């Protein structure tokens, strides 16, 4: 499988060649040249597979430059019950992504049972193992530069700590993550982990990462790698759990399923879009945003108008406080029939702080063909949804999952199961859960007292020059 850039001005490359980098040299995002297709017979064969076997079956169609036995071993080592150890008492602890039935036709897909209690572990643990394998093969090291609004950062740091030849430089918005998220990252004392709190919002951090990635000389000199979902491998790994969730709630491939996805950077729902393009019978992909509702605005109006840092709100689902959704470019690439010239024209506006409107050229009307719909949630909605879920189903959910559930309920259809992706465990957002329920959510015993551990981090202005200097000084 070859990978091409959404902006069409970079050479096509193999998976291992795009694994370590972020943006393509032309500023675009890598996409598979074509989507592998899973037939009805394939789906039937995959239905009963373990998570690891399913992951191998899907990923081996996207990765053909790692020997099959090696890829199989990497996947098997990643998706084990020991790595994804947390499970609610009513769930099967050996299931990597257990499904919880809330009521007839409504399910929660638990994606947050990994080491950092968020769905990011699903892909990041695999990335850690893939990086280690590929780096050893080519005898190289890497300095990962990432941006986080709270969960990618800790997932990356837990996946990469102790890995030979890998250092992590993680930018996060200063004082805008939950107490748990902050402590989970900043309490790490490993020499290869560098936490940098940026005076700004997540989008400022992501812009800094993109600017460094766009400086080809600096990128090559300092071997800069990426772990954000601008890295295709993240999206590829996330495709797997849509298949797993689909099989968990259906008996035959003739059934359709809808998924509700708490969204910010559009990486998670982009993986759902890819799964659908590969032949998974998905009816709707419900994009659920918080008050930072740029994506909801697009799917309702056809206008994509990213907001400035000053216009980006600090909410009680802080990991979704994002106004410039990176992976949206991947979806638009498909929407415009993979016409990279059109993508370049649209993003030349976005990259200059502008917006675009897909109504005039008739493209917005085509969005319906992809099953994408949207809605948004605010603080009052999410508090009420957390209370309702607890009262009706006896389940405590986090604020992001609550945004997903709130919007999911607006799009339920008879005979189409709705699966809400649980993107984090409530323990990560304890203060908000206490506000909603008046009691603390449970957390794994190993993480008790996390917030009291000593923290190590540096504070920085949102400056590309400053982060370049910081990396230069440390490596």
Ligand X SMILES: Cc1ncc(COP(=O)(O)O)c(C=O)c1O
Ligand Y SMILES: N[C@@H](CCOP(=O)(O)O)C(=O)O
* Binding at 423: pick from ligand X, ligand Y, none (beta carbon under 5-8 Å per type): ligand X
Q: Which is nearer to ligand Y, 50 or 129 (CB)?
A: 129
Nearer to ligand Y, 195 or 253 (CB): 195
Q: Is 363 one of the binding residues for ligand X (CB under 6 A)? A: no
Is residue 264 close enough to count as binding ligand Y by CB under 6 A? yes
Closer residue to ligand X (CB): 46 or 425 = 425
- Reference 408, options 385, 434, 429; nearest CA is 385
Q: Which is nearer to ligand Y, 78 or 265 (CB)?
A: 265
The number of beta carbons lying within 10 Å of the beta carbon of residue 388 is 16
The active-site residue, picked from 72, 77, 101, 120, is 120
- Min dist CB 384 to ligand Y, Å, is 23
207 binds ligand Y (CB under 6 A): no
Q: Is 312 in the site for ligand Y (CB under 6 A)?
A: no
Name the binder of 266 from ligand Y, ligand X, none, CB < 5-8 A by kind: ligand X
247 binds ligand X (CB under 6 A): no
Given ligand Y, ligand X, none, residue 460, with its beta carbon under 5 to 8 Å by kind, binds none
Tell me whether residue 120 is one of the annotated catalytic residues.
yes
Instruction: Please state, in angstroms and rounded to a whole number, the distance separating the CA atoms of residues 73 and 130.
Output: 11
> Using CB under 6 A, which residues numbered 96 to 155 contact ligand X?
118, 150-151
Q: Is 289 in the site for ligand Y (CB under 6 A)?
A: no
Out of 110, 319, 377, 381, name the contact with ligand X by CB under 6 A: 319
Q: Which does 228 bind (CB under 5 to 8 A by kind): ligand Y, ligand X, none?
A: ligand Y
Q: Decide the pairing of beta strands 257-262 and 418-422.
A: parallel
Whether residue 58 contacts residue 261, with contact meaning beta carbons closer than 8 Å, is answered with no
Stretch in the footprint of ligand Y (CB under 6 A) among 148-156, 190-198, 284-292, 308-316: 148-156
Choose the one of ligand X, ligand Y, none that binds residue 99, judging by a C-beta under 5 to 8 angstroms depending on kind: none
Minimum gap (Å) between residue 177 Cβ and ligand Y: 8
Which residue, 212 or 424, has its beta carbon nearer to ligand X?
A: 424
Site string for ligand X, 176-215 (x = CB under 6 A): ----------------------------------------
Q: Does residue 385 interact with ligand X by CB under 6 A?
A: no
Check binding of 151 to ligand Y (CB under 6 A): yes
Binding of residue 262 to ligand X (CB under 6 A): yes
Which does residue 171 bind out of ligand X, ligand Y, none, counting CB within 5 to 8 angstroms by kind? Answer: none
Contact between 266 and ligand X (CB under 6 A)?
A: yes
Contacts of 144 (CB under 8 A, 6+ apart): 156, 160, 166, 167, 168, 169, 224, 225, 226, 227
The binder of ligand Y chosen from 21, 28, 150, 375 (CB under 6 A): 150
Q: Enumerate residues 394-453 that contact ligand X by CB under 6 A.
A: 400, 423-424
Q: Which one of the spans 46-54, 159-167, 259-267, 306-314 is the region binding ligand X (CB under 6 A)?
A: 259-267
Find all residues with CB under 8 Å of 108, minimum gap 6, and list them. 99, 100, 102, 395, 397, 401, 405, 419, 420, 422
Answer with the entry of ligand X, ligand Y, none that 15 interacts with (C-beta below 5 to 8 A by kind): none
Out of ligand Y, ligand X, none, which partner does residue 262 contact, by CB within 5 to 8 A per kind?
A: ligand X
Q: Binding-site residue total for ligand X (CB under 6 A)?
A: 16
- Is the sign of the CA dihedral 173, 178, 181, 183 positive or negative? positive
Q: Give residues in contact with ligand X (CB under 6 A).
A: 118, 150-151, 229, 262-268, 319-320, 400, 423-424
Task: Give the residue numbers annotated as catalytic, written as ranges.
Answer: 120
Q: Give residues in contact with ligand Y (CB under 6 A).
A: 148-153, 202, 228-229, 264-265, 267, 319, 326
């Amino acid at each position: 499988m070859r990978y091409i850039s959404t902006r069409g001005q970079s050479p096509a490359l193999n998976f291992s060649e795009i694994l370590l980098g972020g943006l393509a040299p032309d500023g675009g995002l890598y996409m598979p040249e074509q989507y592998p297709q899973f037939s009805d017979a394939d789906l039937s064969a995959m239905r009963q597979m373990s998570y690891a076997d399913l992951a191998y079956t899907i990923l081996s169609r996207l990765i053909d430059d790692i020997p099959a036995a090696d890829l199989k071993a990497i996947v098997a080592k990643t998706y084990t019950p020991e790595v994804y150890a947390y499970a609610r008492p009513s769930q099967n602890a050996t299931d990597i992504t257990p499904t919880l039935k809330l009521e007839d036709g409504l399910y929660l897909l638990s994606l947050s049972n990994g080491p950092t209690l968020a769905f990011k572990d699903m892909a990041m643990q695999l990335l850690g193992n893939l990086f280690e394998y590929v780096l050893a093969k080519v005898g190289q090291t890497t300095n990962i530069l990432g941006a986080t609004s709270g969960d990618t950062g800790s997932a990356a740091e837990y996946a990469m700590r102790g890995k030979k030849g890998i250092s992590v430089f993680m930018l996060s918005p200063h004082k805008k993550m939950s107490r748990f998220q902050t402590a989970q990252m900043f309490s790490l004392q490993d020499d290869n982990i560098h936490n940098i709190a940026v005076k700004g919002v997540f989008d400022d951090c992501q812009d800094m990462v993109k600017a460094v990635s766009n400086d080809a000389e600096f990128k090559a000199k300092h071997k800069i790698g990426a772990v954000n979902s601008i890295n295709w491998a993240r999206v590829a790994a996330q495709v797997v759990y849509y298949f797993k969730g689909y099989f968990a709630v259906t008996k035959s491939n003739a059934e359709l399923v809808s998924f509700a996805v708490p969204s910010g950077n559009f990486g998670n729902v982009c993986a759902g879009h890819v799964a659908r393009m590969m032949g998974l019978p998905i009816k709707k992909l419900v994009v659920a945003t918080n008050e930072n509702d740029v994506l909801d605005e697009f799917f309702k109006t056809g206008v994509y108008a990213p907001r400035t840092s000053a216009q980006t709100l600090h909410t009680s689902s802080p990991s979704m406080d994002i106004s410039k959704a990176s992976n949206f470019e991947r979806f638009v690439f498909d929407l415009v029939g993979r016409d990279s010239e059109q993508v370049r024209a649209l993003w030349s506006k976005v990259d200059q702080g502008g917006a675009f409107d897909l109504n005039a050229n008739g493209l917005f009307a085509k969005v319906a063909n992809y099953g994408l719909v949207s809605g948004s949630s605010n603080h009052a909605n999410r508090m009420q949804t957390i209370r309702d879920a607890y009262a009706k189903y006896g389940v405590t959910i986090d604020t992001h999952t609550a945004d997903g559930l709130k919007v999911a309920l607006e799009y339920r259809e008879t005979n189409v199961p709705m699966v809400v992706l649980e993107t984090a465990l409530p323990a990560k957002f304890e203060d908000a859960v206490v506000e909603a329920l008046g009691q603390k959510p449970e957390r794994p015993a190993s993480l008790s007292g996390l917030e009291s551990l000593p923290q190590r981090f540096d504070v920085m202005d949102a400056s590309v020059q400053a982060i370049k200097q910081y990396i230069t000084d440390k490596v």
